[in-house]
Amino acid sequence: MKRIKKIKPKRVVLPELIGSSPGFDLRGKQDMQREQVIESSFLYGGNAVFISSLYEAYLKNGQSVSKEWQQYFASLNDGTPHQNSSFLFAEDVVSKGVIPIFFQDSSLDQATVDSVRALMLIRSYQVRGHLIANLDPLGLEKRHYYPELDPATYGFGEKDFGRPIFMDGMLGYKTATLQQILQKLQATYCSTVGVEFMHIQDSEQRIWVQERVENRQHSQLSRQDRQKILQDLIHAENFEKFLQVKYPGAKRFGLEGAESLIPALEFILAQAAERGVKEVIFGAAHRGRLAILANILHKSMRSIFAEFHGIEHDLEVFPGSGDVKYHLGASLDRQFEGHKVHLSLTHNPSHLEAVNPIVLGKIRAKQRLRQDHDHSQVIGILLHGDAAFVGQGLVVETLELSGLQGYHTGGTLHIIINNQIGFTTNPPHSRSSPYCSDIAKAIQAPIFHVNGDDPEAVVWVTQLAADFRRQFSRDAVVDMVCYRRHGHNEGDDPVFTQPLMYKTIATHPTTKEIYTKQLLDSETISMGEVEELTHNFDQYLHAEFDAVPNYKIQPDWLEGEWKDIKTINNPLETYDNPDLIGHTAVDIDRLQHIGQMVLRVPEGFHLHHRIAKQFESRTHILESDKRVDWAMAESLSLGSLLVEGTAVRFSGQDSGRGTFSQRHAVLVDQETEDKYVPLNHVQADQAFFEVIDSPLSEASVLGFEYGYSTADPKSLVIWEAQFGDFANGAQLIIDEFVASGETKWLRLSGLVMLLPHGYEGQGPDHTSARLERFLQLCAETNLEVVNCSTPANYFHALRRQVRRSIRKPLIVMTPKSLLRNHFVVSTLADMGPNTGFQLVINDDTVDPNQIRRLILCSGKVYYDLYQEREKRQLMDIALVRVEQFYPFPRQALIDALAAYHQNAEVIWCQEEPINMGAWTFMDRRLESVLEASQLRQKRPKCIGRRPAAAAATGVGGRHIREQEQLINEVLTIP
């Protein structure tokens, strides 16, 4: 039996921290590889801090550094440690306002001093050159003086400009004058591109970026490339203008001011296609979305125009709510020089950045379906606004997924359309950091700032960022600094709030105009060719526009993996529909086999003694009593799916072990920390089980799993909240995607959300999964909400998700204390042949004719009532469990109540305060059940906790009192 090998952390060698290999003889390194020189030469700017600390150590104790260093430091003066001398990093130099004594040390020859000073200057430009780069097309950015970028700071004067300095290959020079060095630095680090990469810890990645930036080849763009860039700009600008003329004032969140995005995307897609990428998944906000749909995805112009005309889709085919045009996605195939690439833009709500984790989840699923193990076939591109990127916490939560084993997609390319404004808010009010992209430094992503009015630079850095992603499987960010030509939307006047900015914009030529002039001046294109490109596109726009009256909007129907899946969204649907019920029973022998396998560990595995005991007890009750507890039922449910060929992906905080130490889906060898996942060892040809301890984020992880489930209907995808109430951190994902994705966009999902719920004295939090909120979201058969009271019903609920022809998100209130309650067991027979999910569990322990009080309840409170009723030996109270709230099991309840005495009093009992829980949802529905029944009482009553602002009390004694009162009230017939 194979075990999962523990991955030992790799020891990383950081050359800059190896004091014993200073390699400080600059002139002795000519024959070394350039990388080695950069890495090992102590003069490499990155070593300045290190040298400084080494020197401090040397000053304290000369023997504490290696011999070579001792010799070197001694050579700086008269041979004894020089108390006043110090190697200072350029920024320290500036802040302390001193030129290092080192530079003035007369014992050093001029050439060495020059080299060191030049290298410190270079280092400063590498780190901070972007601060004076020409990034703002409007030129409104205030210019600051940065002393660390001034050669004078390093002791260079005018007289030094022409003197040759030994460079040993830095910036591509062997020797260069200060003037040449400065020119190169400014062209490299302060042009229309500013690069931030020195924060990256990994030296290979850092050097990779540095080399490419320092060796930028402008000439790589051919005449044809440049013409293509212009053509894309014409398409981008003229498309928006056409919409403005035809639909003046209609909201479209135009791309104007950021048109360079279109050639940038075109070039990376062409490059990706050539390199074997099969699928690109985009996530984008409102800004420029239509331009992307039209010019990048090649969604037909006539369909976009039809949406502007307000033409409805065929409600017979898709009766959903639909969504506004700038939220819609699309998915189409495109050919790039004979390479087919599937492009899709993910539907998203107005909530900025919410789509990010969904895109990543989709990518992960598609990579798995394609067996794209090296993440080279399916890639993701996320487009952001500057204010949203820095403002929405979900961005950081999603960025943090990028390097995690369970969520890795090989890196995402981020492009920020940085129009320097968020609606009416200026950057100083939207962020505390200098750049809107700064948060991406947390994941060590390189950041390429670029002036949007230089389309060639935008194309170049976007390709570079895409290359970085491909090379290192990591995220990269392009911050395209541009502007917004009009108001926030087309009906909005920006002059109220940004009069000066918009004065500048009014006279600022468009990117297309600037680039056209550039190409005409350089004779890369003729005026005739420009006119032809413009004319052809305009003709095409007009022809598409004329075709609108005959155009029928087709919903984006279920295709690919979804081909065999049906939709059900008829609110009147009754629950006897086989498409909803599915086939969930499993043979007893198979269950027994799965049970044995999940309770076994390989020989020699050192299982923790308490888990061993738990497994022994489970084995015993499985084999002798043929019974299972909750966790075991879950294992059997998942195990049965796995052996039937359905993969299972399960993620949540501490889900491997289970928050309540109940699951133990990942076992840890107590001596080696090797991991063993029993569910992956049920049988040889089973499907893959993945259980992932997620990062401590709800929104990004739930979003990711939802996204995954929308791309892979054949796997069971489960997200688990640590406690149900924490799901409110993902409310946005629940409202905008889980609950309404189907009706807005026809995007189905079979995602399961497990939400621990129950009143057990743990306080206002850790108690309620806010059932009421999920129930309020229920309509048009959009969700299924259950609160199962038996392990067997939970078993069937999970299997039902993927053993029927529809897909619906399933919300499960899951137990906590019930996990260890010995009443909460099911038999194998409850999961065996001829069984299925029970919508309602009737009380078969009572004589229905004797019943004076009929209690309807759900979940844990049933057991509290049951145990107390048994204790009091009450024969006239029946306990009927509602196992599924939605779709509401009306007929099942009518059937369940049919046998009871007509005078029975009907009460809905819940643990929650009556302003929470299921009461408001059940109230009128139960009334309708009672009206259809033989019972005299036609209005149900409710017994629950009194209305409350917090979900539960935090005072232990009060909880016990409240719970006793509740049970007492329910079981006391006046």
Ligand X SMILES: Cc1ncc(C[n+]2csc(CCOP(=O)(O)OP(=O)(O)O)c2C)c(N)n1
Both tokens assigned to 15: 């050359």
* Shortest Cβ 414–ligand X spacing (Å): 13
* Shortest Cβ 159–ligand X spacing (Å): 48
Binding mask 311-350 for ligand X (x = CB under 6 A): ---------------------------------------x
β-strands 784-786, 826-827: how paired?
Answer: unpaired
Closest alpha carbon to 795 in 827, 821, 841, 769: 827
Q: Is the peptide bond before 887 cis (omega within 30 degrees of 0)?
A: yes
| Residues 6 or more apart whose Cβ sits within 8 Å of residue 484 | 256, 257, 258, 287, 419, 420, 421, 494, 505
* Shortest Cβ 454–ligand X spacing (Å): 20
* Shortest Cβ 572–ligand X spacing (Å): 35
* Shortest Cβ 58–ligand X spacing (Å): 50
* Shortest Cβ 353–ligand X spacing (Å): 7
Closest alpha carbon to 416 in 394, 435, 393, 430: 435
* Shortest Cβ 890–ligand X spacing (Å): 38
Which contacts (CB < 8 Å, 24+ apart) does range 205-208 have?
205/444, 205/446, 205/468, 205/472, 205/474, 206/46, 207/35, 207/38, 207/39, 208/468, 208/471, 208/472
Both tokens assigned to 833: 């042949």
Binding mask 471-500 for ligand X (x = CB under 6 A): -------------x---x------------
Rounded CA gap, 178 and 538, in Å?
52
- Tell me how many residues contact ligand X (CB under 6 A): 15
Binding mask 357-396 for ligand X (x = CB under 6 A): ----------------------------xxxx--------
Rounded CA gap, 645 and 688, in Å?
8
Judged by CB, which is closer to ligand X: 483, or 863? 483
Judged by CB, which is closer to ligand X: 129, or 385? 385
User: DSSP labels for 651-662?
Assistant: EETTTTT-TTS-
* Shortest Cβ 256–ligand X spacing (Å): 11
Judged by CB, which is closer to ligand X: 417, or 929? 417
* Shortest Cβ 239–ligand X spacing (Å): 17
Which contacts (CB < 8 Å, 24+ apart) does range 435-441 have?
435/196, 435/479, 436/386, 436/387, 436/389, 436/390, 436/479, 437/196, 437/389, 437/390, 437/477, 437/479, 438/390, 439/389, 439/390, 439/395, 439/396, 439/399, 440/399, 440/414, 440/475, 440/477, 441/196, 441/199
Judged by CB, which is closer to ligand X: 484, or 757? 484
Judged by CB, which is closer to ligand X: 146, or 423? 423
Q: Which of 37, 272, 330, 352 binds ligand X (CB under 6 A)?
A: 352
* Shortest Cβ 289–ligand X spacing (Å): 10
User: DSSP labels for 942-953?
Assistant: EEEEPP-SSSS-
Place of tokens 């000066």: 500
Q: Which of 163, 351, 714, 938 binds ligand X (CB under 6 A)?
A: 351
For residues 216 and 460, is the Cβ–Cβ distance under 8 A?
yes
How many CB atoms within 10 Å of residue 70?
15
Residue 295 host element (H or E):
helix 289-295
* Shortest Cβ 349–ligand X spacing (Å): 8
User: DSSP labels for 304-356?
Assistant: HHHHHHTPPP-TTT--S----GGG--EEEEEEETTEEEEEEE----SSTTTHH
Rounded CA gap, 633 and 639, in Å?
10
Q: Edge to edge, what strands does the sheet with 279-283 contain?
A: 193-196, 447-451, 476-481, 412-418, 378-385, 279-283, 339-345, 330-336
Binding mask 604-643 for ligand X (x = CB under 6 A): ----------------------------------------
Q: Give 718's Cβ-side CA count (13 Å radius).
A: 29
Residue nearest to ligand X (CB): 385
Asked if 733 is part of the footprint of ligand X (rule: CB under 6 A), the reply reads no
Both tokens assigned to 245: 């003329």
* Shortest Cβ 688–ligand X spacing (Å): 36
Judged by CB, which is closer to ligand X: 324, or 950? 324
Judged by CB, which is closer to ligand X: 351, or 626? 351
Rounded CA gap, 161 and 148, in Å?
17
Residue type, 440: A
* Shortest Cβ 493–ligand X spacing (Å): 15
Judged by CB, which is closer to ligand X: 69, or 389? 389
Looking at residues 248 to 287 of the shown chain, list those that interact with ligand X (rule: CB under 6 A). Answer: 287
* Shortest Cβ 350–ligand X spacing (Å): 4
CA angle at 458 for the pair 457 and 459, rounded to the nearest 5°: 90
Closest alpha carbon to 335 in 267, 273, 280: 273
Judged by CB, which is closer to ligand X: 124, or 419? 419
Judged by CB, which is closer to ligand X: 286, or 803? 286
Looking at residues 392 to 431 of the shown chain, list those that interact with ligand X (rule: CB under 6 A). Answer: 417, 419, 421-423
* Shortest Cβ 417–ligand X spacing (Å): 6
* Shortest Cβ 293–ligand X spacing (Å): 16
Residue type, 260: S
Rounded CA gap, 431 and 777, in Å?
34
Judged by CB, which is closer to ligand X: 480, or 679? 480
Judged by CB, which is closer to ligand X: 355, or 379? 355
Judged by CB, which is closer to ligand X: 419, or 498? 419
β-strands 476-481, 412-418: how paired?
Answer: parallel
Looking at residues 287 to 316 of the shown chain, list those that interact with ligand X (rule: CB under 6 A). Answer: 287
Point out which residues pair with 692 in neighbouring strands.
Answer: 651
Judged by CB, which is closer to ligand X: 350, or 672? 350
Both tokens assigned to 416: 């920020």
Judged by CB, which is closer to ligand X: 430, or 592? 430
* Shortest Cβ 352–ligand X spacing (Å): 4
Alpha-carbon Rg for the chain in angstroms: 34
Judged by CB, which is closer to ligand X: 414, or 618? 414
Q: Which residues of 132-148 are buried (b: 16+ CB within 10 A; e: fewer)?
A: bbbbbbbeeeeeeeeeb
Judged by CB, which is closer to ligand X: 386, or 962? 386
Q: Which residues bind ligand X (CB under 6 A)?
A: 287, 350-352, 385-388, 417, 419, 421-423, 484, 488
